[in-house]
Amino acid sequence: MNGLTRSSSIHGAAVLTWAHRNRLQQTAVIRQDDPGDATPEGTYTLKVFVGGVEKRSVSGLTDPAWFYTAAQRIQDGSKAVEIRIQQVTAAGSSVFNSTGPFQMTGFGMGFGQAFGGKQA
């Protein structure tokens, strides 16, 4: 997210990127942080939780990137955000991977919480 492996606070929009994995094309052991160069085996589903409540769900994604904008965040509420991603294939679905909870800061988001924003 935003080029970081893990963060408790980000400034502005949350930009998620991930590497494609394809178990049918994989010929060697792949580490979690290795760049993916395989074609996607299926699609992806993302779920956005704010304060533990699901606010958004997007399915059928094929591009390994997704944006959660500041405007969406303001609309969804000011509590901690968690984004979960799941790969969906003909063989079934993966477990959801999570960003873990994080705060989105910046103008208009959580006045009094790092006013102006600060990237952790």
Per-residue pLDDT of the chain (120 residues), as tens digits, is: 777 666 777 777 888 888 766 656 656 665 655 555 555 578 999 999 999 999 999 999 988 889 998 889 888 988 899 999 998 888 888 888 888 888 887 765 655 444 554 444
H/E stretch holding 25 reads none
Residue 84: predicted pLDDT: 93
Q: Give the integer Cα–Cα distance in Å for 44 and 42.
A: 7
Going by C-alpha positions, the residue among 113, 81, 95 that lies closest to residue 14 is: 81
Report pTM.
Answer: 0.72
Q: How far is CA 119 from CA 81, 104, 116, in A?
A: 15, 9, 10
Would you state the structure tokens that stand for residue 35, as one six-digit string? 């760049």
Integer Rg of the chain from CA: 16
Q: What fold, for 9-105? A: Immunoglobulin-like (2.60.40)
pLDDT at 61: 92
Q: What residues does 104 pair with on adjacent strands?
A: 10
